[in-house]
Amino acid sequence: MFLRGVLGVSVLIPCLLSANDNIERISVFGNYNPVALNQMPSALFVLTKEQIDSVVGSSALDVLTQVPGINVQKSGVSQEIFLRGAETNFVIIQIDGVQVNNPLDTRGGSFDLGALSKDVIQRVEVIKGAQSSIYGSDAIAGVINFITYDSEFTTSSLSATLRSNGSQHLSGNLSFGSAMFGATIVNSDNATTGDEQKSIELTAHETLNLKNDSETQLSARYSDYQQKAIADQSGGILFNPNSIKDDKQGQVFSASIRHLETVSANYQLALQAEVFDSNESLSTPGIAPFFSAPPTTSENDYSYYKLRWLNGIQLDSLFLTAGLDYKSEQGETKGRMEMFTFSETGEIISFELPTNYNIERDNLAAFVDAKWQFNGVTVFAGARYDDTKRFDDQTTWKLGASYQLSEQIRLFANTGTAFKLPSLYALSNNLIGNPNLKPEQATNHDFGIEASFENSTVSLSVFNYDYTDLVDFDFTTFSLVNRSQITSSGAELIVTGELTDALSYHFDITYVELETSENEVLTGRPEWQGGAGLNYQYNDIISTSASFDYVGDTVGSSLHSGQGNIYDLDAYHRLDLTTRWLWQSNIQFDFYVQNIFDADYQVAVGVPSDDLGLGVRVHWIIE
């Protein structure tokens, strides 16, 4: 069944549990405040390793399709992740607790999750709503954390996956006591969309006990990838099959060290340092007649380092977390854009426009977070002050509560504010950038009820998010400006349960209504979407999982006709099947069938669905 939890990749302050406390507790990465799952005031979702392995797909993008309220759109070498209708760059993406959003890309801060293999993901945790009071800039719609290391599973293993669409995956982990080293190789050639990908990922994790009552965690990840695909907005393989493909190549390195120490029964200390470095080159042939999407090449180098100091204090039923963090980031782009104009005689003249810029910025922040519990009520409050240097200082806050109305029924609610600094691209691009942009702002409200019965759990949440001062393109000034406002409101229903000891199920449906101040056309965001699944355990050896996904009508845009046009994309559904066979105690086979009904639909204009396909994965635990 799907579990509901809170973002908790790194438990930097140990959980304080009594001997008879059987309720799982997970700490929010950022404030390290241990919270029981039945006390959380926010809309949260967790995918376990078993659920991830049952997903028919090869990347983190495929995994995210299983999260209620998220719609994924892949077109060319770009991607969109819409969380409750919010923009892609409104969500912080973390891998093992390290933020990987790239503020140099044209989307203003996304990350290519197509380069993160599904095989390395141990757990996915999603928290929805404004989270700047913990995370600072960028977390104005939520946070998604991919965890690639689980200290409870440190055995050596080897797995290989083959799929009928031409993709091959090889992944291995070597364990040496508390140290774990991993490698994953992907070679993918998707005949349906024309996409191609090659990548290699290397990971290393270590946990040390340097002194009593302390723990030091080290983590590092390196990825080298190349992707080729027909350009976004070009009409895809259906309308532009002979197009020269975009070519993207890159390397990403991230690392962190976290030291946790219990100083006394009531005081806990945490220190953290993390680094991130991304180098990416992109060559695109443009989209004819090239006035709206000219040929471009670029090389983007982005890096940051971050330091954090935390203090946790326990005072009876009150738990306080207070701390400081400092982030320094730098971005540099070198490239060119081939522009076109007309001569006096009407001839088309081309010329090159350089797209070079270099920008740095620092951020210093202080924050406090509190949890207070009394009888059946748990109250959460937090505030954060960010000294953003070149922008006005930002103060964000959150307030939430969970009330156990009865043994079966729990009520929860939260409200808060958030901000997002303008991306380095938006500030500095020499064609449309604007150094006078202001931070984007958000305010959110969530209310919900969760009912637990003997064999099932029902959770209903109602939400309203207001986004203001949004960055938009202004044709009059031919630059980016702050002017837009979007309101996202709706409801989300999640049901999980067991029909028998061997048969479990889940069901979810999300409704999102969007309103815009500038009457913008918001592409790729359906009003209705949902999913359902069944898992049947035949015996100790064989089990089967069926996953059904539904995405309602959406709007798409494309330039393949020579000018920008809007298209209506029909609703679609998809059914996937996974059968697991434990051949021996340490050897397991997963058999995949994708898009069983061979549903014909477009995920973006000209980008078709996957064909009916087969796949097999073998996983060997090396004893």
Contact 524, 71 (CB under 8 A): yes
Parallel/antiparallel/unpaired status of strands 142-147 and 91-95: parallel
Residue 206 or 32, more confident: 206
Please state, in angstroms and as integers, the Cα–Cα distance from residue 368 to each residue in 65, 309, 393, following that order: 34, 12, 17
Contact 390, 325 (CB under 8 A): no
- To which residue do tokens 């991919």 refer? 146
Q: How many Cβ atoms from other residues are within 10 Å of residue 520's Cβ? A: 12
Contact 87, 139 (CB under 8 A): no
pLDDT at 15 over 70: no
Phi and psi, residue 52, nearest 5°: -65, -45
Q: Is 163 helix (H, G, I), strand (E, B) or coil?
A: strand
> For the residues 342-368, what does the mean pLDDT come to?
86
- Which range is least confidently modeled, 309-318, 337-346, 364-373? 337-346
Q: What is the pLDDT of residue 509?
A: 97
Please state, in angstroms and as integers, the Cα–Cα distance from residue 222 to each residue in 115, 200, 254, 282, 429, following that order: 11, 8, 7, 19, 28
> For the residues 341-345, what does the mean pLDDT come to?
74
Q: What is the mean pLDDT of the chain?
A: 87
Q: How many Cβ atoms from other residues are within 10 Å of residue 584's Cβ? A: 9
Q: What is the pLDDT of residue 362?
A: 94
Distance, in Å, from the CA atom of 368 to the CA atom of 175, rounded to the nearest integer, reads 38
Q: Is 523 helix (H, G, I), strand (E, B) or coil?
A: coil
80's torsion region: left (phi>0), alpha (psi -120 to 50) or beta? beta
Residue 510 or 14, more confident: 510
**pLDDT, tens digit, for every residue of 568-617?**
999 999 999 999 999 999 999 999 999 999 888 999 999 998 889 999 99
Q: What is the pLDDT of residue 5?
A: 28
Q: What is the pLDDT of residue 512?
A: 96
> For the residues 281-310, what does the mean pLDDT come to?
89
Phi and psi, residue 39, nearest 5°: -120, -5
- The first and second tokens of residue 318, run together, are 């009150």
**pLDDT, tens digit, for every residue of 407-459?**
899 999 999 999 999 999 899 888 888 999 999 999 999 999 999 988 999 99
**pLDDT, tens digit, for every residue of 127-173?**
898 889 889 999 999 999 998 887 777 789 999 999 988 889 999 99
Rounded percentage of the chain residues whose pLDDT exceeds 90: 56
**In DSSP terms, which residues pair with 307 in a beta bridge?**
273, 326
Q: What is the pLDDT of residue 384?
A: 96
Look at residues 444, 311, 442, 445 and name the one whose alpha carbon lies nearest to residue 370: 311
pLDDT at 27 over 60: no
CATH numbers and ranges of domains, the chain: 25-622 (2.40.170.20)
Contact 510, 532 (CB under 8 A): no
pTM over 0.75: yes
**In DSSP terms, which residues pair with 30 in a beta bridge?**
none
Please state, in angstroms and as integers, the Cα–Cα distance from residue 340 to each residue in 288, 291, 293, 360, following that order: 11, 7, 11, 32
